[in-house]
Structure 1
Amino acid sequence: MSIQRTLLASVIVAAAGGTILMGATDRFQAFTTETARRVALRQHPVATPAVVMLETQSGARINLADLRGQWLLIDFIYTRCSTSCVALGDEFAQLQDRLGAPLARGSVRLLSISFDPAHDTPARLATYLQRSRSRAAGWLAARPVTPEGLAQIKRVFGITIIPNAQGGYTHNAAIHIVDPRGRLVAILDRGNPGRVARILLRELGQ
């Protein structure tokens, strides 16, 4: 799979200098669990939940599995966030431009999932999209309908959420790539939407 070859190249580059660190990190055991998980995904994609109901910004209900058959770019947000979620929204807006043609064809979908469903009503999700300058079809914002669905999503995607002193949350912010078979195949840090777009376009043969 070409996405795995593309991402594996970065691991090879890191490994070239990584041998120097082996003694200082107890043969890399000091590396984070998140880093290890991302590397493992490149060789062993993880199936996303088959049944998780989501409510979108329009109030429609969809099953996460209904989106199979297309590439998904998924981020996790809460609408009161004024830091990383704003940055993620800006990157998704840029991806709307960079991936305009495949989004229009339905071969790619952007999906922002709220992990604060009690607060993030469809109206607030719609406002989040407007604030993020969503301009066309192809970008959904949604919230899990049940606590069990939220728990499944957090577990499979590895979302860490910690309440902070300001009444919000500290959370990991990344873009998750799910292939048309419904498998989580890569997690990329925010900050480089161009790289995300290039990977998707390569997968689509463009």
Structure 2
Amino acid sequence: MLAAVLAGCGKENVEESFPMSVEVEELEAVDQDGDKVRLSELNEDKIVIADFIFTNCETVCLPMTANMAELQEKIKEAGLQDSVHLVSISIDPEEDTPETLTEYSKRHNADYSNWSFLTGYSREEIESFANVSFKTPAAKVEGSNQFVHATSFFLVGESGTLLNKYEGVSDPPYEEIIKDIQKLN
């Protein structure tokens, strides 16, 4: 009987305790090195923390990326780096080439061992992906080189399910994110 009770305490049941439950669709992309990747591969046996950025952003992307770099350090300090992959997804694939993403990410001392910057899809694909899989807007501002997009960090469980979102620009709840990762680990 104890085995049956313990079996009921698996990761799937833990995921049910989170406020969101949205299946994340597949995203085929290239990373900062120009290598083809699939989001499901980055998510395989790992928890994903994702955000949406673009490199010529004039407002929220720089602080979000700096905060993601800080989160990466806190994940390392907690000894969780092997179970988490950070993913920054460009919503401006026409401008954000792998080379551009590499230059941008190096300014934030990104450690690519568990942080990928993605591009290589069409703008229509990424807008639909953000809208459907992350329930968040992503659209070009008419007559501008700027985009409307989420300013959240998104937690995706190993099952490929979006489970939670957190403030990504001002005062991210690092401790809460770490606790949620530990809960899923």
Normalising by the smaller structure, the TM-score range is 0.7 to 0.9
Q: Is structure 2 residue 166 aligned with structure 1 residue 188?
A: yes
CA distance in 1, matches of 2:58, 2:92: 14
1:49 alignment counterpart:
25
CA RMSD, Structure 1 to Structure 2 (Å): 2.1
Q: Which runs of 5 or more residues in structure 2 are unaligned? A: 1-12
Unaligned runs of 5+ in 1: 8-38
Structure 1 equivalent of residue 104 of structure 2: 128
Partner Cα separation in structure 2 for residue 48 and residue 200 of structure 1: 18
1:2 to partner: Cα distance: 4.3
User: Quick one: which of 118, 130, 134 aligns to 1:157?
Assistant: 134
Matched, 1:175 2:150: no
Give the structure with the larger helix fraction: 1
- Note the C-alpha offset of 1:136: 5.1
- Residues 46-79 of structure 1: per-residue CA shift (max 9 Å, x gap): 11113x2111000001111112321000000000
Give the SS at the match of 1:117: coil
Aligned match of 1:88 = 64
Secondary structure class of the residue paired with 1:62: strand
> TM-score, length-normalised on structure 2?
0.79
Q: State the 1:165 CA deviation.
A: 6.5
Deviations 1:72-99 (A, max 9, x none): 0000000011321111111111111111
Q: Which residue in the other structure is 2:183 paired with? A: 202
Q: Assess if the C-alpha contact under 8 Å between 1:53 and 1:146 holds in 2.
A: no
Alpha carbons 1:164, 1:170 under 8 Å: kept: no
Question: Would you say the 8 A contact 1:144–1:150 is kept in 2?
Answer: no
Cα 1:83/1:148, change in 2 over 3 Å: closer
Structure number with bigger Rg: 1
Runs (4+) off by over 6 Å = none
